[in-house]
Structure 1
């Protein structure tokens, strides 16, 4: 991983020299779509209970400010932005600053509680993926007005697009919704989501995207909330949920292979979240972590809303650097660093 990180750093330095000493990122922009794992603050502007705009969220972020990230600090996509050479992060698209000076580095369209299955977003008053694509169309119009149509097209084509999806659809919808799990098998539900994913990438391609990364499902059965809700008293990972994740990831990888063959000028890659997070959960000590069964905030069993993870939550840890999870669903900044490092191998092919 260090070799790859050094290669990316050398690439950034090379581009800096080619532009008179001013550091240039490896791609002109970074766009993120998806759910709470990559939401940098769109939830701040929504009428939803799934929010992170209050302490202790953000306590280890810049300025110790709760920005709407479901983490104590940086997300894996923030760390990716650092690696790519950006000096600031794509803003939440619904925030006022997203329509101003930050247009040229991209935007974040992700939303807490959002999913590919539009009903998931509807349940939690989140931004559906369908709506996120509409916002991207709106963004392109604003970008053309700021940068001119030619430069806007170049930015859109050269930028990196990261899609994170599926976890909310399963944990916050399928597994708890009898209208779904009693009428559709996991494979049928997975096929439906993968079909929507294919259509979404096709739409993004039609709007100019040429560098796309999609994250796999994490080991859903290892999330503290999943262990609490579906573990039947066991403290170990729920094997059925992990098997569901693996089968879904295989279907999604096949879809990515098919898309790469369909669009020969499309660079598309799978960012494997499952493997590094499962490794952290099952052998945390080997990577400097001490707690992998519960999150830092509150009891760390089910907390990921204002009612359960807040400044007065009893039991919140004083130091999250040795916790794999920040709350009962989302990784800590320290875990996000490990995850982001593991994505470098796939990512370098997208930006070079």
Structure 2
């Protein structure tokens, strides 16, 4: 595993050097060459706050970030968009990598035009999880809700561009699922009710079963190129260090062990789905190990601060606690792995997306 990771790190470093030479690193994403001159008509995303590009702006929930300092480094406008970061999030970066577009809009944005819909959207909702209770607790859109919106999306495309073109877009687009961290860090770790019903084994079984059910329903609607991120090293985000890391704010071993267990089950489920649906591509995207390498070797990637976010003290601020009145917010977010106490900076998302995705893109085709 280590030698394989080192290989991918070397590839990333070469990639960054090349991108820097043409002035594109971080401000713009270098599109990756797709195999056999393939093209991707759209990128469509489901998930949680990591890939929510603003859907929570339009629902009645406290899980929002459509206020400063969020969006501080977002393009030239430097304005909050509902993305849980200082700038871009992985949904944007992935859409650019596949050569589709630089920003992946939120599906619920009332100003979306049909041409934006045709090339893809994010259905993700910050705070969502595989466990239906996770979304219910914070009043956000569950995976079931997101799937229903996708059905509505298909109907809109049918009406606008016709059934044949819609079917082609649906089957040839790339689908990304990024969810599960909130199940572990919030619903299970912080909810005695869930721990009373499930031990770690049975809870991760529940998560894996819900993941499989969602992916099978998604497949049934026509998608054939589906990538699923596993849960990252969630116990090492600043808020989990503060809550569960003791006086020294170490990584929460509990959350990390649950993540590792779930990830093994998710990988097994995806292998089973690949066998069952051989005409599709189910791509398992490991973010746990690359993110751990970034945290353990920050200087290799140009980071200085690893255990607190840029916003405020960086120990607990997230969402409404990270606001214009947060004191001591850092001046240079590029030194930080984390933007707030739960979400990475745009720079981290760029580095991590390349480490996780670039060598796996061929597997979608």
- Per the shorter chain, which TM-score range? over 0.9
Counterpart CA distance in 2 for 1:14 and 1:264 is 20
1:77–1:340 contact (8 Å) kept in structure 2? no
Hey, what does 2:338 align to over in structure 1?
325
Give the drift of 1:113: 0.9
Hey, what does 2:43 align to over in structure 1?
30
Q: Of residues 341, 344, 349 in structure 1, which corresponds to 2:354?
A: 341
1:3-62: CA deviation from partner (whole Å, max 9, x where unpaired): 7898x85747996xxxxxxxxx93111110011110000011112111110111111112
Hey, what does 2:93 align to over in structure 1?
79
Q: Of residues 25, 43, 55 in structure 1, which corresponds to 2:56?
A: 43
TM-score w.r.t. the length of structure 1 is 0.92
Counterpart check, 1:289 vs 2:296: no
RMSD over aligned Cα atoms: 1.9
Give the drift of 1:327: 0.5
1:34–1:114 contact (8 Å) kept in structure 2? yes
Runs (5+) with no aligned partner, structure 2: 1-10, 19-29
Runs (5+) with no aligned partner, structure 1: 16-24
Q: Of residues 238, 249, 262 in structure 1, which corresponds to 2:252?
A: 238
Counterpart CA distance in 2 for 1:322 and 1:237 is 20
Counterpart check, 1:108 vs 2:122: yes
1:183-211: CA deviation from partner (whole Å, max 9, x where unpaired): 21111111111101111111111100100
Correspondence 1:122-141 to 2 at 5 A:
122-141=136-155
Q: Of residues 170, 195, 212 in structure 2, which corresponds to 1:198?
A: 212
Hey, what does 1:21 align to over in structure 2?
none
Correspondence 1:46-65 to 2 at 5 A:
46-62=59-75, 63-65=77-79
Residues 26 and 184 of structure 1: CA distance in aligned 2, closer, same or farther (over 3 Å): same
Counterpart CA distance in 1 for 2:164 and 2:244 is 52
1:98–1:107 contact (8 Å) kept in structure 2? no
Correspondence 1:288-307 to 2 at 5 A:
288-306=302-320
Residues 66 and 9 of structure 1: CA distance in aligned 2, closer, same or farther (over 3 Å): closer
Q: Of residues 307, 328, 333 in structure 2, which corresponds to 1:315?
A: 328
Counterpart CA distance in 2 for 1:98 and 1:191 is 38
Hey, what does 1:117 align to over in structure 2?
131
Give the drift of 1:235: 2.5
Paired positions, count: 340
Counterpart CA distance in 1 for 2:233 and 2:32 is 34
Give the drift of 1:89: 2.4
Hey, what does 1:210 align to over in structure 2?
224
1:276–1:338 contact (8 Å) kept in structure 2? no
